[in-house]
Structure 1
Amino acid sequence: MVQFDPDAIGEIALKWHREGRGAVLATVVQTWGSAPRPVGSQLAVSGAGEIAGSVSGGCVEGAVVVEALELLENPSAKMLEFGVSDEDAFAVGLACGGTIRVFLEPVGSVLSEEILGAIVSAQAVRRPVAYVVNTASGEGHVAGRDAFPDRFLRDQSGFEDDGETFVAVHNPPPRLVVVGAVHIAQNLLPMARGAGFDVTLIDPRDAFASRSRFPDEAISDAWPDEALNALALDARTAVVTLTHDPKLDDPALMVALTSSAFYVGSLGSMRTHAKRVERLSKAGLTQAQIARLHAPVGLDIKARSPGEIAVSILAEVIAVMRGAAE
């Protein structure tokens, strides 16, 4: 099975359909116990039996493919339920088994090309949307964040109270923007990417933001405030400044703290932060805006090395994103 970006499964299914290869989209809609994949996980199956994504980590994919290929011959929506035994669960790296329900939709006949195209287009521009489908009838539509604000906030797909209406939340992936190509950033960026974040590095200093130091990163050499404005910071974005240089950090913070970014953090001691607060206040930020700033950045785990500090920063970003920290 080829591994794909989990946010691109719908795009792959749409591509297969438009190429005339046929496609079925399978979605985990409910789980019990230690299920292998969370609700909302998806698997795309082509008419040739190609697959992208996962609904179980490998233990029921084969059965889903068989059912999907049958649906391409006789199109309809179909709900499947699997009990993952402890033995099968162990084989795919789990401690114990569970039960999952998987909803299958042939693209074009049940899940319309128009609806799937709208979802894929929204993902491309980081616009949050929900796919709302009645699993009994197969009828679905696209809704915005306002229709399910709590679900979008918790990033939680699931059934509504009627037990038939499934809401698949398609939030844009979280994004981490780091200002300052320092040693901490060398550790933080790959860690954040591994945790599912889109990452961007900003530093106009060529000696710091060189390809030899950051060979795999998206780097902007624009001035930090210009770069952040160009990125259009949204509620799924975290910003961390690491330069220790007010000429670079302060312009970035002025933009980030007046944006809808869910997290803004800055490196420095309490003494450094006190001076920073004074500067930001004089620059026109309100007390409420300045209070959004996490500084010193990161959870207090007594971190010392750049790698440990990176761990503390990413942990705090995730804690704030998941509502486990203020």
Structure 2
Amino acid sequence: MIHTDHAALRAAHAGGTGLCTVVGIDGSFSRRVGAQMATQGVEQGAGADASVAGSLADVCLERQLAGDLAQMAPGAVPALQRYGRGSPIIDFRLPCGGGLDILLDPAPDRAALAQVVQALDARQPASLPLPVPADAPPHLLRARPYIPALSLVLLGEGAELAATAALARTMGIATQVFAKEDTASLRLGGVPQGAQADAWTAILLLFHDHEWERTILRWALDSPAFYIGAQGGMRARMARLDDLARDGVNETQLARVTSPIGLIPRTREPGVLALSALAEILGAYEALHPLA
């Protein structure tokens, strides 16, 4: 799974958990501001043996947080704690040498969590208010924004389509697949039947027979998809753009079509193409996050 922050949110929403949120970073750290971890079993006093959802990268830090949450009294107010550089906890240091300001909430607001989860399930962005003390430094994060999970629409044929679909699903990406061979959902000159694309969706065309692309690309460009890509080299790209321009597609829309696709140029191996294209898509998706 790639949405570890969503996992922490959903675990906290389920109840019986504490929620830790990184609200400030002093120096370097391998997670961004807003990274979260939910510690399950806090209400039962499980302490350092509690299971966690989400990730803060450092196992020692996660154990420390689980223990600190377990020591908080039932019904205690959220606490803002510094870890690493500048922390009063002198026997705990971060490997990166930096400092983290982390909000420890032993009993997060279930109603607020429910609103965020419902919004994300409805494919809408949302924000969770954080109970940071009023006298805390102003630069600390006070609301945690979320965006819906990445979804993927794949259209095409052959080994490239199969490899990309398999890798995407292994990564936990919700994937809709429309194969050239499945005439019930995809036909030449038509649009994919039942395909759903929103602002958090990437659309990727993997055709060798490029005459299949023209109508599909017009459909994709009418959607709010954040990424639209099509397999093929520069010659295929120029022919594709010429066809779309003749169909009345303007320059702004044409610029939305990514081709060639992927981070690795001129790859001939389906598995490498899949990895290359998905890495590019994930990079574009990460750039959508308000805290990126």
Shift of 1:170: 0.6
Contact 1:258–1:289, Cα closer than 8 Å, also in 2: no
TM-score, structure 1 normalization: 0.70
Aligned to 1:6: 5
Q: 1:1-326 maps to which residues of 2 (within 5 A)?
A: 5-15=4-14, 17=15, 22-45=16-39, 46=41, 47-48=43-44, 49=46, 50-51=50-51, 52-71=53-72, 73-83=74-84, 96-107=96-107, 111-137=108-134, 162-164=138-140, 166-192=142-168, 197-203=173-179, 205-206=181-182, 222-223=185-186, 225-227=191-193, 230-231=195-196, 233-246=197-210, 248-299=212-263, 301-321=265-285
- Counterparts of 1:294 and 1:36, CA distance in 2: 30
Q: Which residue identity lines up with residue 24 of structure 1 in the other structure?
A: G
Shift of 1:101: 1.9
- Counterparts of 1:89 and 1:82, CA distance in 2: 8
Shift of 1:204: 5.1
- Counterparts of 1:99 and 1:181, CA distance in 2: 49
Shift of 1:97: 3.7
Change in CA separation of 1:311 and 1:248 when aligned onto 2, cut-off 3 Å: same
Gapped regions of structure 2 (runs ≥ 5): 288-292
Change in CA separation of 1:304 and 1:29 when aligned onto 2, cut-off 3 Å: same
Identity of aligned residues (%): 27
Shift of 1:300: 6.1
Contact 2:23–2:141, Cα closer than 8 Å, also in 1: no
Greater Cα shift, 245-254 or 114-123: 245-254
- Counterparts of 1:166 and 1:35, CA distance in 2: 19
Shift of 1:135: 0.5
- Counterparts of 1:305 and 1:246, CA distance in 2: 19
- Counterparts of 2:185 and 2:282, CA distance in 1: 27
Shift of 1:164: 4.9
Shift of 1:134: 4.7
- Counterparts of 2:260 and 2:78, CA distance in 1: 52
Shift of 1:118: 0.2
TM-score, structure 2 normalization: 0.77
Change in CA separation of 1:312 and 1:230 when aligned onto 2, cut-off 3 Å: closer
Q: Provide the aligned length of Structure 1 versus Structure 2.
A: 272
Shift of 1:119: 0.6
Q: Which residue identity lines up with residue 174 of structure 1 in the other structure?
A: L
What secondary structure, in the 3-state scheme, does the structure 2 residue paired with 1:59 have?
helix
Change in CA separation of 1:317 and 1:114 when aligned onto 2, cut-off 3 Å: same
Shift of 1:117: 0.5
Contact 1:178–1:202, Cα closer than 8 Å, also in 2: yes
Gapped regions of structure 1 (runs ≥ 5): 91-95, 139-158, 208-220
